[in-house]
Amino acid sequence: MAIVKPVRKAVLPAAGFGTRFLPVTKAIPKELLPIVDVPVIQINVEECVASGIRDLILITSRGKDALIDYFDRGAELEELLERKGKRADLEMIRRLTDLAHISAIRQAEARGLGHAVLCARGLVVDEPFAVLLGDDLVEADPPAIRQLLDVYAKYGKGVVALWEVPSGQEHLYGIVDGESVGGGVFRLHNLVEKPEPGKAPSRLSIVGRYVLPPEIFPILANTKPGQGGEIQLTDALATLCASDGLYGVRLRGERFDAGDRTGYVLAVLRYALRRSDIGAAVRAGAEKLLRKT
């Protein structure tokens, strides 16, 4: 087994405009939209912590300071909860601040996901690191990023998360070409962004979890703007794949595209149904609604 540096840091890009969620994203960052009462970003942070990563780097932008505030201590709120004897709420709020060590970097201009990751270079320096996109919520045990970390530890190469898309929809996604090495893991040969209908090399698309070596930074710095004038992470990954090698792992679990309206509603429903406090009532209410609709 190859000896590899441990992954101690994760980058959480959250500087996008969230246009698929307008109008609410005019005022509220997409990453703070609640899955019942927990913001999407907190679910990502908890996934990192559950996977052994506590050093987190948030990439934010103008108008999204609420994201950073969310993880700060609120002295006034704590005092109020203390006075009212709301111990459980107080514990919950405090736990949030102690969860992880969170740094933030501003992306001055929305120049794409690749550029957002490059913004973290000064804090990541020369270590391998994880990247999590809030749009992809994955309910899984072990957690999704842990599944990638295990593959990284075995092969010592960059790893991307893979998800099988329905047949005929490959042209909508970034699709990989690779060979199976067993256990849902693939050694990748190439990445094809939105292949022409009928020409996709597989049905496995790249979804929002990555473990990357620091070698991705000089590649990103030299990646020319692609689709939409943005620096695309996928373009840099294709270069990394050719120069250094890249693996993919098919995620085990339930995935929701929470960056899309339907996916978001389904994620809220799923998380609500699994809650011990409200699950039964939500199920009864939803069944009644379905009968009437």
What does the binding site for ligand UTP look like in residue numbers (CB under 6 A)?
13-21, 30, 59, 107, 110-113, 115-116, 133-135, 259
Longest dimension (CA), the chain: 64
Question: Using an 8 Å Cβ cutoff, are 36 and 272 in contact?
Answer: yes
The sign of the dihedral angle between the CA atoms of 124, 47, 41, 89 is negative
In the complex, minimum distance from the CB of residue 233 to ligand UTP, in angstroms, rounded to a whole number: 8
C-alpha 219/C-alpha 240 separation (Å) is: 7
In the complex, minimum distance from the CB of residue 224 to ligand UTP, in angstroms, rounded to a whole number: 15
Tokens representing 58 are 């948030």
Nearer to ligand UTP, 190 or 227 (CB): 227
C-alpha 192/C-alpha 250 separation (Å) is: 17
In the complex, minimum distance from the CB of residue 177 to ligand UTP, in angstroms, rounded to a whole number: 23
Within a 10 A sphere around the Cβ of 173, how many other Cβ atoms? 19
Nearer to ligand UTP, 214 or 225 (CB): 225
Nearer to ligand UTP, 21 or 256 (CB): 21
Nearer to ligand UTP, 12 or 219 (CB): 12
In the complex, minimum distance from the CB of residue 152 to ligand UTP, in angstroms, rounded to a whole number: 21
Nearer to ligand UTP, 20 or 187 (CB): 20
Nearer to ligand UTP, 191 or 282 (CB): 191
Nearer to ligand UTP, 202 or 234 (CB): 234
The separation between CA 198 and the C-alpha centre of its own chain, rounded to angstroms, equals: 29
In eight-state DSSP terms, residue 32 is G
In the complex, minimum distance from the CB of residue 171 to ligand UTP, in angstroms, rounded to a whole number: 17
C-alpha 196/C-alpha 192 separation (Å) is: 10
Find the length of the chain: 293
For residue 204, what are the β-bridge partners?
Answer: 164
In the complex, minimum distance from the CB of residue 230 to ligand UTP, in angstroms, rounded to a whole number: 6
Taking CB positions, which residue lies at the least distance from ligand UTP?
16
The sign of the dihedral angle between the CA atoms of 167, 171, 173, 176 is positive
In the complex, minimum distance from the CB of residue 271 to ligand UTP, in angstroms, rounded to a whole number: 19
In the complex, minimum distance from the CB of residue 115 to ligand UTP, in angstroms, rounded to a whole number: 6
Nearer to ligand UTP, 134 or 248 (CB): 134
Question: Using an 8 Å Cβ cutoff, are 56 and 68 in contact?
Answer: no
Nearest to 212 by CA among 103, 122, 101, 127: 127
Question: Using an 8 Å Cβ cutoff, are 219 and 240 in contact?
Answer: yes
Count how many Cα atoms sit within 13 Å of the Cα of residue 106 in the half-sphere of its side chain: 8
Tokens representing 226 are 């692609």
